[in-house]
Amino acid sequence: MKRKTVGILGGIGPLSTVYFMEMIIQMTKAETDQEHIDMIVLNHAGIPDRTRFILGLSDENPLDVMVADARKLERAGADFIVIPCNTAHYFFDKIRQSVRVPILNIVEETVDYAVKTVPGLTSLGVLATDGTIESKTYQRVCEARGIRCEVPDAEGRAVNMRIIYDQVKAGKPADIGAFLGLVESLKQRPCEAVVLGCTELSVVKRDHRLKRPDIIDSLEVLAESTIFACGKQLKTETETA
């Protein structure tokens, strides 16, 4: 099998991009440098805010910048591209149409992972930015698979946005009590599992070492899919410990 190189369209946000790279390295079954995955990374922090544009709060359209970045990755030799940002998938179709190489879709990969791993899944809770929720990115993918998608109420969404923007993106500690409260409120709907549909929330999960089968980390799912797309294997739990 030809050795594949992944192109990472990142910087949205910068910390979650670096964590995504680290995650790929830690999850790949490899005993030498040469057995790890080749990556071309654009950690482009200057991409305009996706949620603000989607909600009509800014006229700075991030699409042209992301299209240009995708083309840069393609020209640099990426065999396929990943975008470690859920909100950016509002623009997914147009970015995909701008390049010849495939792009993995974090939302589709995550919902498909939930279908495969959660027994009797009928309802999936999603914690995400207002941009992702208002654009119904997860809702449409869940509906296509016959799954109900639940999101926080207005108060819960405000709490979640504070965690994402005022805490994680600002480089401050996340309010873990508020975070877990959001998870539990979705579980009580009821939902069989809750997706962390914003990669900043993946950082919260990492920082607090949360290991719960009912919390599905979209960034971790994308890392796993990236490893498989490169023809590599995952470390076993014993190897990871």
Catalytic residue, chosen from 85, 142, 149, 230, is 85
- Strand pairing report for 5-10 and 38-43: parallel
Phi and psi angles of residue 43, each rounded to the nearest 5 degrees, phi first: -90, 70
Q: What are 7's strand-pairing partners?
A: 40, 81
CA-based diameter of the chain, in Å? 50
- Let me know: does 53 contact 22? Beta carbons within 8 Å: no
Q: Active site residue: 142, 149, 198, 230, which one?
A: 198
Strand partners, 121: none
C-alpha distances (whole Å) from 235 to each of 44, 77, 215 are 29, 27, 20
149 is catalytic: no
Catalytic residues, by residue number, are 85, 198
